[in-house]
Amino acid sequence: MKSQQIVLTSRPTGAPTSSNFKMKFTEIGPIDDGEFLVKNSWMSVDPYMRGRMKSADSYVPAFQIDEPLEGGCIGEVIESRNKDFSKGDTVLGSLGWREYWKSNGDGVTPIDPNLAPIQAFLGVLGMTGLTAWVGLNRIASLQSGSTVFVSAASGAVGSIVVQLAKAKDCRVIGSAGKAEKIEWLKQKTGIDKVINYKETSDLVGELAENAPDGIDVYFDNVGGDHLEAALDVINDFGCCVECGMISTYNATEPIPAPRNLFQVIGKRIRMQGFIVRDHLDAKDEFVREMTKLIKADKVVWKESITEGLENAPAAFIGLFDGDNLGKQLVRIS
């Protein structure tokens, strides 16, 4: 069987471009005993993948040149010689960026297509939602009535953070860079205030104005000027949850530390980074809580869908221009 796949042809310098990717065909041989074959239906593109395009390993191995990329995916088992996976099963895996893949079951999870649209397991009910949940509950230990600032609040993770915080009766301030994103946040998530960071010359001043009593938790998806603003406005003993710093991912030179980092000392700020894979033991608790919130209409989500595997690189590149609203997905078939 022939399968299309997207490979990395060169490591990006600065922002990734289409020239860093190409489509290739590969042969997939017959499955062996204990294996099954999956046809992908959906795949996820996420900002963290930019880090894997660098030559150095970080918390995950770097992507290799002329090898297919990887990422969250959902597909259907179309052939099986594994007792735990049957033909017709819907499964969640990590071998996106391709049409077909074989597995012995390691790292593959069956999902229930009756619980939610299957692509939701790449977003609100998947690693995206778990990231938001872990950041607020395990890292920040969020308390009811807190004031929370969320950067990239209309993004895949940020939009879920907003709603989980609102479900705990918190005041939530977010940032976004496009009118349609700001309007969606106001209409759908119950957010209290949204700052258009592209239209302000004083992010610190706007944040302080919208949080006159300071902020207690900063959920950081951006870094840079957003982190500086949060450090100025955060209250004593506040918490900075360091989830991502998309403003730095395409930098070609070292990024200066926040100029006001000394605030961490004077305000006794707790700043903690986290990797969601370290908290997979929370998955069952997260799914139970998130399912209840969805059924109670306390959590909604938005998907930006790109059609066709061949357009996956463009969908990924668009993340850094803010093209997506909510979770960016690629429908493969």
Q: What is the pLDDT of residues 261-297, one digit of tens each?
A: 999 999 999 999 999 999 999 999 999 999 999 999 9
pLDDT at 333: 84
> 227 pLDDT band (50/70/90 cuts)?
very high
- Cα–Cα distances in angstroms (integers) from residue 151 to residues 189, 240, 283, in the given order: 15, 11, 24
- One-letter amino acid of 24: K
Q: Which of 189, 206, 270, 194 is nearest to 236 (CA)?
A: 270
- One-letter amino acid of 248: T
Residue with tokens 């995916």: 73
Dihedral sign (CA 102, 105, 106, 111) = positive
pLDDT at 256: 84
SS3 182: helix
The C-alpha atoms of residue 324 and residue 318 are separated, in whole angstroms, by 7
- Strands (DSSP E) contained in 201-290 are 215-220, 234-242, 270-273
> 115 pLDDT band (50/70/90 cuts)?
confident
The Cβ of residue 47 has, within 10 Å, a number of other Cβ atoms equal to 19
φ/ψ of 273, rounded to 5, equals: -85, 160
The C-alpha atoms of residue 255 and residue 260 are separated, in whole angstroms, by 14
pLDDT at 153: 98
| Domains, the chain, ordered by start | 2-123+301-331 (3.90.180.10), 127-277 (3.40.50.720)
Say if residue 17's pLDDT is above 90: yes
The C-alpha atoms of residue 311 and residue 292 are separated, in whole angstroms, by 35
pTM, to two decimals: 0.95
- Give pLDDT tens digits for 29-38: 999 999 999 9
How big is the CA angle at 149 (ends 203 and 302), to the nearest 5 degrees? 105
The C-alpha atoms of residue 122 and residue 128 are separated, in whole angstroms, by 7
Residue with tokens 């390691």: 106
Mean pLDDT of the 134-141 span: 98
Chain mean pLDDT for the chain: 97
pLDDT at 73: 98
255 CB-contact burial (10 Å; exposed 0-12 / middle 13-18 / buried 19+): exposed
Say if residue 257's pLDDT is above 90: no
Say if residue 87's pLDDT is above 90: yes
- Cα–Cα distances in angstroms (integers) from residue 278 to residues 57, 129, 137, 191, 273, in the given order: 17, 15, 14, 29, 11
Mean pLDDT of the 239-250 span: 96
How big is the CA angle at 230 (ends 224 and 236), to the nearest 5 degrees? 140
Q: Which of 323, 319, 324, 317 is nearest to 16 (CA)?
A: 317
The C-alpha atoms of residue 105 and residue 96 are separated, in whole angstroms, by 15
**Residues contacting residue 314 through CB under 8 Å, at least 6 positions apart:** 18, 306
pLDDT at 77: 98
- Here the tokens at position 275 are 């990797």
- Here the tokens at position 241 are 């949850």
The C-alpha atoms of residue 165 and residue 137 are separated, in whole angstroms, by 10
Mean pLDDT of the 302-324 span: 97
DSSP 283-316: HHHHHHHHHHHHHTT-----EEEEESGGGHHHHH
